[in-house]
Chain A
């Protein structure tokens, strides 16, 4: 069984906050802690302990999580994996092809069983048989998910929020101009929305204040730059911090280590 898949336990800080994006693979996300919002096809869902998301290929999603503390498992696997597993009776390929996404708050029992299966996909040793055990755990996980899909296929799982469509340009603006000085007044003038309304809606949708979101987004970009080997000084300037000491302090507070150390570790 040479099944293709990748599992991570939130090792990449920059994935906690992302621009809207999609993969040509399936994605499974299991939230371990509370904090943040997951936006799928314009509907926002809370990121919290026990929240399970399964995304089909090409579904646009965006993760707006608290970069400092949010923990999750993420698993990606391509369509080929499903094709290989499908049998005449159990057509996983068709089942997975016919849905966009699933979001479900697991009860504690389900959560524990899901977590243990994912962990079995993740453990890495080199011993005889361990690779097969990982693959078998993945098959088990896909079977669990397919059960959920089949029971869920009837209805929408959560009430959609249309607010996202209104906020989308604001996200885009922040993602484009994060390096500049972004002020509430500026946003409210530009998008013809009162400061009060903007704050309230942004917070309701994402769980973040606008300011906190901008800071988190800058730190996220900083993580990417530091991983590329760009110096701390330069990184701070590029992502829009006015002073280097301010950058270092903010980075340390959010990530839990100084940018210099972060660059070394990754």
Chain B
């Protein structure tokens, strides 16, 4: 059990640079401030909301103004789930199929928070401490998984997007291979440029341009994983030049696409 995971606790208002990563992410919201955008939906963060994001999911935590939004963020590699999963209990399948968003009831939340605060505080370095910590973390994942499984047939929290954001997202997803600018979107969707920017930013936390880039990088990741050449990928996902693609890819993922393709992942951080 030599698996690595990372637990971060934020109390500050921080809008990190947009990024996507190969590790899975779990976000546990601790108050009622801020918004979380994932897979085409913006969710207002509520106390006790838990998000599980598969690898390379475009997401963003954001707020308008100076609120604090407390949250725990867990990062862990797919391998951890693969190691844990059994035939009967397939966590890998459950957690990587699609983003999961649920409101967790108080008793389960209390259990999660207890384990988390112990994990954050405990930095013991003695014999067995590492295994004990892994065990606690796995217990945490299992608690979340069991709850999700128990409500699987129940309704996930799904939020309608305000205004015309859905339309804009669909447009980007359909046209990312070609050149898209604010002007082309505005013209094709009969919306003013300033309204477009404002509506989109309010709902997703991303600027339109930033989201287009993120979506292209996300597509690029899966094409690279399927074995396509860097140059071809660059053209396929709509970058004008390969140099530009490589530069942006490196910025968002943390390592150049060639290296990524070889499976040598650079370290990414939030």
Contacts and interface: CB of A to CB of B under 8 A. Distances in A.
Interface stretch (A40-48, A49-57, A123-131, A220-228): A123-131
Interface string A135-157: 01001100100110010000000
A45 to B, nearest CB: 26
A87 B135 contact: no
B128 interface: yes
Interface in B28-77: none
Nearest to B132: A143
Interface in A97-134: 126, 128-133
B128 A147 contact: yes
Contact of A129 (B125, B135, B145): B145
Q: Which residue, A2, A90, A126, A146, has most C-beta atoms of chain B within 10 A?
A: A90
Contacts of B125: 89
B1 interface: yes
Given A90-B130, A128-B88, A136 B138 contact: yes
Q: Which residue, A95, A126, A133, has most C-beta atoms of chain B within 10 A?
A: A133
Given A87-B1, A132-B89, A146 B149 contact: no
B98 interface: no
B83 interface: yes
A129 B128 contact: no
Interface in B107-157: 125, 127-132, 135, 138-139, 142, 145-146, 149
A87 B167 CA distance: 50
Given A87-B131, A146-B128, A129 B2 contact: no
A128 B91 CA distance: 10
Contacts of A89: 125, 127, 129-130
Contacts of B84: 1, 132
A90 B86 contact: no
Nearest to A84: B1
A87 B128 CA distance: 9
Interface string B210-244: 00000000000000000000000000000000000
B145 to A, nearest CB: 6
B207 to A, nearest CB: 41
A88 interface: yes
B149 A129 contact: yes
A81 B267 CA distance: 31
Nearest to B139: A136
A85 interface: yes
Given A126-B88, A132-B86, A143 B138 contact: no
A132 B85 CA distance: 8
Interface of B: 1-2, 83-84, 86, 88-89, 91, 125, 127-132, 135, 138-139, 142, 145-146, 149
15 contacts: A88-B2, A89-B127, A90-B127, A126-B88, A128-B149, A129-B142, A129-B149, A130-B88, A130-B89, A132-B84, A132-B142, A136-B138, A136-B139, A140-B135, A143-B132
Given A132-B86, A143-B128, A146-B128, 16 more contacts: A1-B83, A2-B86, A87-B1, A87-B130, A87-B131, A88-B2, A89-B130, A90-B127, A90-B130, A126-B88, A129-B145, A129-B149, A132-B84, A132-B91, A136-B135, A143-B135
Interface of A: 1-2, 84-85, 87-90, 92, 95, 126, 128-133, 136, 139-140, 143, 146-147, 150
